[in-house]
Structure 1
Amino acid sequence: MPTVRINDEDTTLPEGATVLEAVSHTTGRELTPEGTPADGGRLGVAAALAGVVVPRSRWSSTALSERDELEIVTAVQGG
């Protein structure tokens, strides 16, 4: 099982885990293969792997490897 650094914390994920699974794990929400919440709500997050934004459409096809660094950020409203 690979250990991936998510938001500066080491996290162990199942072998073959993807960005989609990491976002689901981190947010505690079940996601569809398209990266949208299974409950139909809003997610409001973005993911960057090694400093490069991963489009939501590629979350399910972007595999994570040992020691990858993933940042998951939440959109915040306000000024």
Structure 2
Amino acid sequence: MEITINNKNHQFNQSCSIAEMIAVMLPGEVKGIAVAVNQTIITKSDWPHHFLKDGDRVTLIKATQGG
């Protein structure tokens, strides 16, 4: 299964939830991350229940501090 994450193609052996994908792509703390799948924001509470499909386009945004 191929998923595009931040404009880069990634191969996954099987369907996975957003939470599982984030654990692989961004191991560690997940504070300050926003996720959109096919240009639709997915709330953090839905990450474990939203399963990705072949061809999905995921955007991961990590908030940073600055000024």
Deviation digits for residues 16-37 of structure 1 (CA, Å, limit 9, x no counterpart)? 21111111111123xxxxxxx4
Query: Who is 2:13 aligned against?
Result: 14
Conservation of the 8 A alpha-carbon contact between 1:13 and 1:22? no
Deviation digits for residues 38-61 of structure 1 (CA, Å, limit 9, x no counterpart)? xxxx62211110111100000010
Structure with more contact order per residue of length (Cα contacts < 8 Å, sep ≥ 6)? 2
Conservation of the 8 A alpha-carbon contact between 1:4 and 1:13? yes
1:38-53 equivalences under 5 Å are: 43-53=31-41
Uncovered stretches (5+) of structure 1, i.e. residues with no partner: 30-36
Q: Aligned-pair RMSD on alpha carbons?
A: 1.4
Give the alignment's TM-score, normalised by structure 2. 0.87
Which 4+ runs in 1 deviate beyond 4 A? Answer: none
Equivalent pairs: percent with the same residue?
Answer: 21
CA distance, structure 1, for counterparts of residue 51 and residue 13 of structure 2: 11
Uncovered stretches (5+) of structure 2, i.e. residues with no partner: none
Query: Who is 1:34 aligned against?
Result: none
Give the alignment's TM-score, normalised by structure 1. 0.75
